[in-house]
Structure 1
Amino acid sequence: MRAFIILLLLFICTTGIAQPQVEDQDPKEKLKLVEAQLEEVNKRLEELAEQRAVLLQQELNLSNYASDRIKKVIIKYSIKANKVIQSNASTNEKTKNLSNIVYFQNEEFKKVLTVHQFYKYLKLTDI
């Protein structure tokens, strides 16, 4: 679980998607720019979710249906994690919120994966 948080934080920091840059512009232009950047971030998160779902499909021997459901869960919680990272909350608050996100993501994974697949997934994410 901690591995996912660490990897997500490293990805966001290294790709430069953490903070959209908005110059002094008309408020409508700023809004359009921020919306475009948000759409780009969400698209990138979806691409990464697709890659992670393919990896998990191979490692856990998932069906296409299970892989698709896992991908949707990953996208949902990646977007939530990105919002937490972008927030102005303290580091402790962010850590707590990210831990909660990982917990609830895992709870949804339990609904999709078999017991064996879920424990194998936990082993994959444990450093």
Structure 2
Amino acid sequence: MLKNIERAKTLLAAAKAAAEDASRKQALGITMASPIAAATHVLVSGGFTWNTEQSTAIDYTEFRKSFCLIGAAGTRKTTTLKGALLNALAKHRVPPLEAGTEHLSGGAPGVAIRELLFRPEWT
């Protein structure tokens, strides 16, 4: 019986998280074409669950919205970008380049990631 209570608590927490996620996406004006594939999560995340901010970054990438990903060292910024790109590629949201560039081959996915470092001593 204790096992059933724990399972019910887990299901309730998942339902609450899903409702919060839906409210967040509605507030941001994001309409999901389809849920992010679980296989992408497992492949990229190593078994952890994306938090709200990471999910937002993944959604923004899928729907080609600009965003700035900021966080301290070890907060999985790179992993989030990897997940976002793999999700977008898996859903064919990144068109291939028609012609090559100095760094990318023609026919390769056209993706640009910009890194900006800020250090107080630079001001």
TM-score range relative to shorter protein: 0.3 to 0.5
TM-score when normalising by structure 2? 0.35
The structure showing larger relative contact order (alpha-carbon pairs under 8 Å, at least 6 residues apart) is: 1
